[in-house]
Amino acid sequence: MIEVRWHGRGGQGAVTSVELLAQAAIAAGKYAQGFPSFGPERRGAPVAAFSRIDDKKIKVRSGIYKPDVVIVLDSSLIGLIDVTDGMKPGGKLIVNTTKTPEEIRRELNFTGTVATVDGTGIARKEMGVPIANTTMIGALLKVAGFMGLDALKESVEHRFGRIAQKNLNAMKRAYDEIKISN
């Protein structure tokens, strides 16, 4: 089972990301959960959302405390909250930033895999908005590798209709452009 924690700010679409990812994984025949951090939400405040993906039925319904992968949708959260909290030593940290993986590694003193991509820049170019939630799904699939990008097509089309292709293009670019440091 892969457990993923998403960090973002209210309004940046972390919850949409976990929904899309779970729907896509389930459509691909896997088992998945997608859920927000339970409780009140405020636009702009730090939020977390969670994904679980497995090949067999997922029984656990408690929170995720030791994620395999952490995705940071908004790099301004680094330093504000401990984004690597509870991460397994070989865990994978993915950050939406213009910085290199090495720079992030130094900032956080993190020993696992670090991957960075300018998700916001890609989202701006491909979709005209600085919202990188769908873009970063591409980054996750490259780094975690539990399913292909094609798996997202149906759920993204269902959710976004005529702007779906732009989202898929942005995902593809993040998938291709992400820099990974093991």
Contact set with another protein (CB under 8 A): 18-19, 22-27, 31-36, 38-40, 58-63, 65, 155
CA distances, 107 to each of 33, 79, 97, 100, 152 (Å): 31, 9, 13, 11, 32
Q: Which residues, in sequence order, are bridge partners of residue 51?
A: 4, 34
Instruction: Using the minimum distance from each CB to another protein, give the nearer residue, 59 or 162.
Output: 59
SS3 55: coil
Instruction: Using the minimum distance from each CB to another protein, give the nearer residue, 23 or 113.
Output: 23
Minimum Å gap between C-beta 26 and another protein is: 3
What is the rounded distance in angstroms from the CA atom of residue 47 to the CA atom of residue 27?
Answer: 27
Instruction: Using the minimum distance from each CB to another protein, give the nearer residue, 38 or 89.
Output: 38
Instruction: Using the minimum distance from each CB to another protein, give the nearer residue, 52 or 105.
Output: 52
What is the rounded distance in angstroms from the CA atom of residue 172 to the CA atom of residue 89?
Answer: 28
What is the rounded distance in angstroms from the CA atom of residue 36 to the CA atom of residue 50?
Answer: 6
Minimum Å gap between C-beta 29 and another protein is: 8
What is the rounded distance in angstroms from the CA atom of residue 87 to the CA atom of residue 71?
Answer: 11
